[in-house]
Structure 1
Amino acid sequence: MWDTSERLLKLLSLLQRQQEWSSNSLAEELGVTARTITRDISRLRSLGYPVTTRKGHGGGYTLQNGAVLPPIMFEAKEAAAVLLALEDYATTAGTSAHARTALEKLQRVMPSRVQAATKALASHTTTIDLGSPIGVDTPDTDVTTLLLLSRCCRDGRQLNCTYRHYSGKSRSRVLEPLHLVRAMGRWYLLAYCTDDQDWAVFRADRITDAKLSPHSAQARQPPATDLDEYVSQAIAKGWQQVTATVRVYAAKAEIQHWISPAWGTVTEESADTCIVEAGADTYDSIARWLLLTKAEQTIITPPELAHSFEHIALQSQRAATSWAPEEEPPNTKPPVKAAT
């Protein structure tokens, strides 16, 4: 049985979950009578919460937007998602102060279990700016999995999971998580793989069936002093399935911001030229990216990049020649008579 205050909070939580509830549905969720629901709705209204009633068949209760923000109850994964969003927002110029105070307020009122989970995620996660991939979907990562990974990092525990490789093949793995990184709209886990007996970087969205192992992780020397740099290099290697070298006829300062560390390097050759060594998943991707610089270029290597530029040029030419102006519709209006 619920006491009155606990029942009211639960009722608020239900009203926040979906747009409209029938009295019977609310009564069933809370294990009370429809008459109790009617009384509780009246109590909420007396406290200032704008709950409206739509009568008749198919009607129900709706919590409208109002001047008072009702208590919001988060599950651990919801709290983690909100806190991560606020952490990102807190680094934005002009909004950091408000985001930081909101973050502090949320952290103070979180239950201890949720606080521990979100603190583990925050303390074992870093964000690195490697740019954004063009034309690549950003996969969703299960927050529950992220919380479990951060717990393994904090407590030094092994993780049993299934991992899907880039090729599409999956196999079971035993990992010893060390560090989480957010980059390019994705989550990456640095962990020691006991099966391969080596450190590796794993995409968190490809980890499934994750379960906490009863075994502790062994004390190991990290693979590098700068873990973010180590992960950055691994990400770049994963993205750069093909590579190319191009001379760009522009100053390095004009081109540098187009080539993030995940895509390659820019080396000054002269005051007016630079050498770009770039990598991506395909040569077409490299060609399209380099065209964004709007600078003249000469391909040094390989010839496959020239074929990609040619393919893009033909595609652009077909699009240009396919255009034709629309014909003006015939004038069906009667002629205008001159005023007499």
Structure 2
Amino acid sequence: MSARKDLPGRLLRLLALLQSRREWSGSELAERLGVTDRTVRRDVERLRSLDYPVTGTTGTAGGYRLASGKNVPPLVLDDDEAVAVAIGLAGAAAGGVAGLEDSSMSALAKLERVLPARLRPAVAAVGAAEVVGRFDGRFDGPQVDAGVLAVLAACCRDLEIVAFGYKNRRGSVTQRRVEPTRLVSVAGQWYLLAFDPERDDWRTFRVDRISDVAPTRHHFAARELPAADAASYLAESFAGAEYRHTVRMVVQLPADVVRRSFFRVLPGSLTPLGEDACEFRLSADSPALLVQFVAAIVALGADYTLEASPAAAEALQSVGKRLMVVEA
């Protein structure tokens, strides 16, 4: 293809590069675009003629920077970036910042309209995911592959059976073939709610443990959810799960007061015991997780009783000793 015929595509690639980093040298841009330094200079001038504020930088090598202008230039995103933006907008649309819900949904709708046809369904599906709880942006848990998330979201929307490998808590991998129903994000952690025909039951899968995801091109009839919504089912699954370590607390506070004290979703079960008391129960593979939530409830200052499995009790006692304040 001649340089002239490739010009529109090359200008878009140049614009995308300038948007992705604060500053580029002319030689770096030439290498990325597969052209000469002279062609880069000409392309920069073409962008400037279209009112893009591309400025030159001084120095031995010189370089280029996309400066702030009076108008917002068109944003050029690659496939993964487009899906990532959709995920972020879906989270923002869940609320938590006054006035942001409507703006997020509006931005998501605009993004869907200008995307290539191959990306539009995946982005729309990711945008429809349920987001539960407020996420403070400091999630340091397992990371989810954006491509996997997009495929699962599209299969949920299209009622398409999906196959994948799934690693359980013990590290064993099994091959699953399920009817995906809904993606749910809980405080930064993504889950897939699906019906597993082989087990004739509903299952919840952590998306970070899913690999080799593959749509099957076979469709299924939508089933009635086993709860009011996917988020409710997920909460019930957490509450009923049995793991190696368990704690049970009876707290002399109303259940609503305890629940509102947590910024993120409170895992486990929280059951009212009259107007002024409640029972909190949590089961987990890690005693450290139990310690975090028990300590947070104790910090509320109310009277309580506590029962814990041996390992969890040992971890709680150890932390309690370390927190003791010795008066000078």
Shorter-chain-normalised TM-score: which range?
A: 0.7 to 0.9
For 1:164 and 1:312, locate their aligned partners in 2 and report how far apart those are by CA, in whole Å.
32
C-alpha change, 1:219 and 1:88, in structure 2 (3 Å) is closer
For 1:251 and 1:222, locate their aligned partners in 2 and report how far apart those are by CA, in whole Å.
33
Q: Quick check: 2:179–2:194 contact (8 Å CA) kept in 1?
A: yes
C-alpha change, 1:149 and 1:25, in structure 2 (3 Å) is same
For 1:29 and 1:278, locate their aligned partners in 2 and report how far apart those are by CA, in whole Å.
56
For 1:287 and 1:261, locate their aligned partners in 2 and report how far apart those are by CA, in whole Å.
11
For 1:63 and 1:309, locate their aligned partners in 2 and report how far apart those are by CA, in whole Å.
54
Are residue 114 (structure 1) and residue 119 (structure 2) matched?
Answer: yes
Q: Quick check: 1:236–1:261 contact (8 Å CA) kept in 2?
A: no
For 2:38 and 2:30, locate their aligned partners in 1 and report how far apart those are by CA, in whole Å.
9
Identify the match of residue 284 of structure 1 among 286, 291, 306. Answer: 291
For 1:308 and 1:14, locate their aligned partners in 2 and report how far apart those are by CA, in whole Å.
50
Q: Which residue of 2 aligns with 1:338?
A: none
Q: Quick check: 1:266–1:277 contact (8 Å CA) kept in 2?
A: yes
Aligned pairs for 1:254-333 (under 5 A) are: 254-258=257-261, 262-269=267-274, 273-281=276-284, 282=287, 283-299=290-306, 301-302=307-308, 304=310, 307-317=314-324, 320-321=325-326
Give the Å deviation of 1:144.
0.7
Q: Quick check: 2:291–2:316 contact (8 Å CA) kept in 1?
A: yes
Q: Which residue of 2 aligns with 1:328?
A: none
For 1:40 and 1:252, locate their aligned partners in 2 and report how far apart those are by CA, in whole Å.
63
Give the Å deviation of 1:31.
3.6
For 2:39 and 2:204, locate their aligned partners in 1 and report how far apart those are by CA, in whole Å.
54
User: What do the CA deviations read for 1:31-89 (whole angstroms, capped 9, x no partner)?
Assistant: 43322221111222233323233355443222233333222122333222212322333
For 1:37 and 1:255, locate their aligned partners in 2 and report how far apart those are by CA, in whole Å.
61
Give the Å deviation of 1:106.
2.5
For 1:226 and 1:22, locate their aligned partners in 2 and report how far apart those are by CA, in whole Å.
56
C-alpha change, 1:201 and 1:110, in structure 2 (3 Å) is same
Q: Secondary structure at the match of 2:24?
A: coil
Q: Secondary structure at the match of 1:112?
A: coil
Aligned pairs for 1:114-263 (under 5 A) are: 114-123=119-128, 125-129=129-133, 137-214=140-217, 216-219=218-221, 221-222=223-224, 224=226, 226-228=228-230, 229-238=232-241, 242-258=245-261, 262-263=267-268
Q: Which residue of 2 aligns with 1:41?
A: 44
Amino acid at match of 1:95: L
Are residue 67 (structure 1) and residue 70 (structure 2) matched?
Answer: yes
> Percent identity between the aligned chains?
31
Q: Which residue of 2 aligns with 1:84?
A: 87
Normalising to structure 1: TM-score of the pair?
A: 0.78
For 1:220 and 1:178, locate their aligned partners in 2 and report how far apart those are by CA, in whole Å.
8
Give the Å deviation of 1:203.
0.3
User: What do the CA deviations read for 1:203-255 (whole angstroms, capped 9, x no partner)?
Assistant: 011111212235x1444744525342222212334486544333323445543
Q: Quick check: 1:156–1:176 contact (8 Å CA) kept in 2?
A: yes
Structure 1, 158-167 or 241-250: larger mean CA deviation: 241-250
Amino acid at match of 2:132: I
For 2:220 and 2:256, locate their aligned partners in 1 and report how far apart those are by CA, in whole Å.
46
Q: Quick check: 1:201–1:231 contact (8 Å CA) kept in 2?
A: yes
Q: Quick check: 1:77–1:144 contact (8 Å CA) kept in 2?
A: yes
Q: Which residue of 2 aligns with 1:104?
A: 109
Q: Quick check: 2:112–2:124 contact (8 Å CA) kept in 1?
A: no
Q: Quick check: 1:176–1:192 contact (8 Å CA) kept in 2?
A: yes
For 1:251 and 1:177, locate their aligned partners in 2 and report how far apart those are by CA, in whole Å.
37
For 1:255 and 1:316, locate their aligned partners in 2 and report how far apart those are by CA, in whole Å.
22
For 1:61 and 1:99, locate their aligned partners in 2 and report how far apart those are by CA, in whole Å.
32
Q: Quick check: 1:241–1:279 contact (8 Å CA) kept in 2?
A: no
Q: Quick check: 1:256–1:266 contact (8 Å CA) kept in 2?
A: no
Q: Quick check: 1:177–1:189 contact (8 Å CA) kept in 2?
A: yes
Q: Quick check: 2:179–2:195 contact (8 Å CA) kept in 1?
A: yes
For 1:98 and 1:252, locate their aligned partners in 2 and report how far apart those are by CA, in whole Å.
34
Give the Å deviation of 1:187.
0.9
Normalising to structure 2: TM-score of the pair?
A: 0.81
Q: Quick check: 2:108–2:127 contact (8 Å CA) kept in 1?
A: no
For 2:84 and 2:234, locate their aligned partners in 1 and report how far apart those are by CA, in whole Å.
23
